[in-house]
Structure 1
C-alpha cells in the first residue's frame, strides 16, 4: 500500500529534483531556490528557502552524512550549503562557465562531480574545494551522473543516449552507445553490491532511464586485472512516455521512476516486476527520491508540487521480499526441509546437500557461525560470508528487538559505538576499521577494492540513530 502523507506547494516554478538525508528533505526548482524540510513532519525549516543561484536549479544532493547540501544551476555553479544552518560554505564555478545539469558527491564525500551542457564533467576535491580536472565526457550535454557505492568509479549519461563508466581520474572504463534512444535522462546506482565467490569480481546494479520511455537495470561488473563490463538485466516499460528520473531504495530492493505520463512507477528491482503505479501529479514527474531511513518516497513535478508517499510493505520482509510460509515460524522451529527450502530461495542451492547430510534444522541454523561453517566443509570464503549475512538478516526479520543490519559493523557484526565512514562509503566501528588498516589492509573490507585514502569521517547521523534505537529497546 502506498499513500500520500504530505503535499508541499512552496515552489513557484517546476520542481527539478528531490533529495533525502536521514533527517531532511530538500527540493530544487526552476524558481532559482532550494527548499529544505524536516523529515519528521515535513515542516519547512526557518532558513528555507535557499537563494544563491542566478538561474534555475537543476539538481540537489546531500552528502552521505547529511551535513552538506549541494546544488547546481544553469548559472554554471555548484553551491555547497550547510544543512544545519543554510549558510553557503563554498561556490564552485565550472571552468568554462557552462550550465550545469547534474551533480553528485562520492559516498565518502571526497569528490564532487558536475556534468555540463558543453559535454564536460568537472571533478573537485570536496574537502579543499579545489578543481582536480575538467574533461570532455560527451559531444552532447551531460545530464546524468552518479558514483558507484565504492566511490572508485562514476557513470555519466548524455542527451545522445550514451552511458559511460569512468574512474576517478576521468579515464574511460567502458562506453555503451545508444543505451537509451533519444537520450539518457537520469541514472542511479543501487547502494548494495555483490562480490563473486572467487573474491576477484565486484558487481553493482545501475538504473538508467531516458527519452525512449524505458527504465533499464544494468549489472556493472569489475574484475581485478580486467576491463569493466555492463550487462542489461531488465528493461521496464510500464510508463508510456519519457522517463525523467529514477532512484533505488536504500536496501536496493525497489527502484522508482517518474515519467512525462504524470505517473510514478515502483518496481521490484530484483524481479523487474511492477508493484505500484502512482498518479497524483497534474504534470510531468521530474524527480523521485527515497529516504535512507524511513519508508518514504518524494516525487516532484512540473505542477510545482512535491508529494511525499509512505510505502507500507504488508507481509513483506525488511529487505522487501515476500515472507515464505515457513518464515512465519521462528527460525529455531524450522525443520530440516524448511532450512533447505530457504537456502534455495536465497540462491544458496549449492549448500543444500551439505546441510542435508549434516541434518541442519532451524535451531542449528540460528547458531551457525564462521567456525561451524568451516567445519561443515564450506571452503569458499565468499560463500561462507553470503550464508552468514543471510542468516543475520533472517534473524533480524523475525525479531524486532534485534539491531538493524546497518547499525552493525560489517567487520565484527557488532553494534557500533563510534561509527565512521571509510573511503569506500561504508560505515564501520572506528576501532575495527583502524585495526584493519593498521594490519596493512589497504583495501575495503566490503569491496576488496583499494581504499583511496585512510581518512575516516565520523558518521554522526548514524551514531544518533543507534543511540535513539538503543533507548527505545
Structure 2
C-alpha cells in the first residue's frame, strides 16, 4: 500500500525535477529556483530557495555524500551548491552556452555530466571544477543521463530517440534507437543481475519516451571491450508520453510519471503494476525514490511535489541483499559489497573498498587494524562503525539462514526486535522504529493505516523474553554445528 503523506506547494511554476539524498529533498522549477527540504519533517530549510539561475531550472542532483547539490538551467550553466548552508560553490558554463537540460554526478562524485539542448555533453572534474572532456550526439537535444553503477560508463538520451553509451574518456561506445519520438528519461538499478545466460552479469536500465513506453534493458560492459544494451521488455500502463522513470534502490520497483497525470509503480522482475497513483492534476514530470527510506517523491506541472509513504512490509529500500536467505556474504561480489555500504550510510567508503578489491570474503575478514593499515581509514569512529555494521550483518545472515519467526520481526524495519513495544493498534514494534514513526507526525497505524487511538507505547516483556530464548537456542545450535 502507498499513502500520500505530504504535499509541497512552494513553487510558483511547473516542477521540473526532484532528487533525494539520505537527509534532503531538492526540487527545481520553471520559476528559476531550487528548494531544499529536510526529510525529517519536510520543512523547508532556512536558506531555501536557492537563487542564482536566470532562467528555468531543469534538473538537480546530489553528490554521493549529499553535501553538494548540482542544478542546471536554460541559462547555459550548471551550478554547484553547498547543502549545509546554501552557498554557491561554482558556476560551470556550458562551452556552447546552450541551455543545459540534464546533469548527473558519477557514483563516487568524481565527475559531473551536463547535457545541453544543442546535443553537447560535458564531463566536469568535480574536485578541480574544470572541464575534463566533452562530446556531442549527432542529432537532437540531450534530455536524459544516467551513470552505470561502476562509474566507468554513462548513458545519455536524446530528443531524437537515441540512447548512447559513453566511457569516462568521453568515447562513444554504443548507440541504440530506443524511442521513436524521443527519449525523456533513463535510470540504472544499482545492483547487478544475472540473465541466466552462461552466468552473465548485467545492470538493469530503464528508459522512457514520447512514445508512451517504458523499456527495460540489460547493460553489459567490459573494461576493454566496451559496452552494450540488450533490450529486455516493454512495460505498459501509461496512455500518454512517459516523462520520468526511476528505480528503487534495490531495483525491485520502477516508478514512472506521465502526461496522463498518473504515477505507476511496477515490480521490476515481473513487470506487474503494483500501484497507480493519481493525485496530480497535470503532467507528472519527475519521480524519485529515497536512497534509504520508504519514501517516493513525484513532481508535476501542477506546481506541487507529493511525498508518498510505502507500507513498511513492502521491501524495496536498502540493498536487498539481506532479504535473500540463500545468499552467503562470503559469495558477495565487489559490487554487492558496494551496494551494502551505500545501504548502511557508508557511501564515502565505496571508492576505497573498490580500490582494494573488497568482496564478501574480504569484508568478513576486516578488522580495525586492517581498516587502518590496509584501507587507510584514519577516523576511529568510522572504523568502529564499519566493524559494528559487519558484526550486525553476520548476526542477521546467521539468523536468516535458520529463519526468524515472523512475529519476532518489527513490521516497520522487518528486523529482529530488541526492545518490542505494543502500540494502541494491538501490534508490536521495535521501540525506536515506532518512536521515529510517531515523531515524523504519523498518527496512523503502520499495519492498518487507521488512526492510532493513543501514542502510548507499552513494553512487550513477554515477546522480549521469547526472542531472548530463541536467540539462546540458535546460539547453542550454532556452537554444536
Does residue 47 of structure 2 align to residue 47 of structure 1?
yes
Does residue 104 of structure 2 align to residue 104 of structure 1?
yes
Task: Tell me which residue corresponds to 1:169.
Answer: 169
Query: Which SS does the other structure have where 1:228 is aligned?
Result: strand
CA contact (8 A) 1:109 1:126 kept: yes
Could you tell me how far 1:369 is from its partner in structure 2? 7.8
CA contact (8 A) 1:201 1:223 kept: no
With normalisation by structure 2, the TM-score equals 0.70
Structure 2 residues without counterparts, runs of 5 or longer: 390-412, 419-430, 434-481
Does residue 349 of structure 2 align to residue 420 of structure 1?
yes
Could you tell me how far 1:50 is from its partner in structure 2? 0.5
Does residue 131 of structure 2 align to residue 131 of structure 1?
yes
Does residue 194 of structure 2 align to residue 265 of structure 1?
no
Task: Tell me which residue corresponds to 1:91.
Answer: 91
CA contact (8 A) 1:422 1:456 kept: no
Query: Which SS does the other structure have where 1:71 is aligned?
Result: strand
Which structure has the higher relative contact order (CA within 8 Å, separation 6+)?
A: 1
Which whole-Å CA distance do the structure 1 matches of 2:347 and 2:185 have between them?
A: 35
- Deviation track 1:188-223 (CA, whole Å, cap 9, x = no partner) reads 111112479999964111110000001111001114
Does residue 21 of structure 2 align to residue 21 of structure 1?
yes
Could you tell me how far 1:241 is from its partner in structure 2? 0.3
Query: Which SS does the other structure have where 2:254 is aligned?
Result: strand
Could you tell me how far 1:240 is from its partner in structure 2? 0.4
Runs (4+) off by over 4 Å: 195-202, 315-321, 415-419, 423-439, 454-460, 469-473
Query: Which SS does the other structure have where 1:422 is aligned?
Result: helix
Query: Which SS does the other structure have where 2:340 is aligned?
Result: helix
Could you tell me how far 1:136 is from its partner in structure 2? 1.3
Structure 1 residues without counterparts, runs of 5 or longer: 322-326, 332-341, 347-367, 371-383, 393-404, 410-414, 440-453
Which whole-Å CA distance do the structure 2 matches of 1:320 and 1:313 have between them?
A: 15
CA contact (8 A) 1:422 1:455 kept: no
- Deviation track 1:58-105 (CA, whole Å, cap 9, x = no partner) reads 000011111111100000100000011000011100011010000000
Task: Tell me which residue corresponds to 2:302.
Answer: 303
Does residue 134 of structure 2 align to residue 205 of structure 1?
no
Could you tell me how far 1:438 is from its partner in structure 2? 9.0
- Deviation track 1:362-397 (CA, whole Å, cap 9, x = no partner) reads xxxxxx785xxxxxxxxxxxxx548xx8xx9xxxxx
Query: Which SS does the other structure have where 1:406 is aligned?
Result: helix
Aligned length: 381
CA contact (8 A) 1:418 1:463 kept: no
CA contact (8 A) 2:248 2:316 kept: no
CA contact (8 A) 2:287 2:298 kept: yes
With normalisation by structure 1, the TM-score equals 0.71
CA contact (8 A) 2:189 2:249 kept: yes
- Deviation track 1:248-286 (CA, whole Å, cap 9, x = no partner) reads 111111110000000000001121111110000000000
Which whole-Å CA distance do the structure 2 matches of 1:72 and 1:455 have between them?
A: 36
- CA distance change for structure 1 residues 433 and 317 in 2, over 3 Å: closer, same or farther? same
CA contact (8 A) 2:14 2:29 kept: yes
Could you tell me how far 1:125 is from its partner in structure 2? 0.4
Query: Which SS does the other structure have where 1:134 is aligned?
Result: strand
Matches within 5 A, 1:241-256: 241-256=240-255
- CA distance change for structure 1 residues 86 and 55 in 2, over 3 Å: closer, same or farther? same
CA contact (8 A) 1:207 1:215 kept: yes
- CA distance change for structure 1 residues 6 and 230 in 2, over 3 Å: closer, same or farther? same
Query: Which SS does the other structure have where 2:149 is aligned?
Result: coil
- CA distance change for structure 1 residues 425 and 209 in 2, over 3 Å: closer, same or farther? farther
Could you tell me how far 1:228 is from its partner in structure 2? 2.0
CA-based RMSD: 4.0
CA contact (8 A) 1:28 1:60 kept: yes
Could you tell me how far 1:225 is from its partner in structure 2? 4.6
Which whole-Å CA distance do the structure 2 matches of 1:74 and 1:279 have between them?
A: 30
CA contact (8 A) 2:65 2:348 kept: no
- CA distance change for structure 1 residues 419 and 195 in 2, over 3 Å: closer, same or farther? farther
Does residue 225 of structure 2 align to residue 291 of structure 1?
no
CA contact (8 A) 1:151 1:423 kept: no
CA contact (8 A) 1:295 1:311 kept: yes
- CA distance change for structure 1 residues 320 and 131 in 2, over 3 Å: closer, same or farther? closer
Query: Which SS does the other structure have where 2:349 is aligned?
Result: strand
